[in-house]
Amino acid sequence: MQVGRNVVIAAGAIICTQVKIDDSAIINTGAIVDHECRIGAGAHIAPGAALAGRVQVESGAFVGLGARVIQRLTIGSFATVGAGAVVLEDVPADTAVVGVPARCLPPIESQRNCLT
């Protein structure tokens, strides 16, 4: 395992063999990062999220609470995986995905007043 500077690995997190975690990443409470994953600089793996083997989470990406990512996928830079999502395909950079299976959300510009 290789761990960069200013990395937070919270209580109960499981980090398996040959994982690389870049600077300023967060592996939060109870998260699972399986074998040969790579976590980019400033990425955040939320509590209870699970990454199967050889997942690459690029810099600035966020994997939400309880999300699941199957093996050999890439979560692009500054992408967001919503809480509880099950990711079965690569997530492009600057994209948000939610649901089971995970699907892309439309761009923010088209979501005016979506919570009202």
Q: Which domains does the chain have, with CATH numbers?
A: 1-105 (2.160.10.10)
Instruction: Judge if pTM exceeds 0.85.
Output: yes
* Catalytic pick among 16, 35, 78, 83: 35
Residue 116 clears pLDDT 50, i.e. is over it: no
Reported as a single tens digit per residue, the pLDDT across 104-115 is 987 766 555 544
Q: What confidence tens digit (pLDDT) does each residue in 6-23 have?
A: 999 999 999 999 999 999
Return the exposure string of 25-58: e unless at least 16 CB atoms fall within 10 Å of the residue's CB, then b.
bbbbebbbbbebbbbbbbbbbbbbbbbbbebbbb
Structure tokens at 41: 């600089």
pLDDT at 110: 53
Is 35 labeled as catalytic in the residue annotation? yes
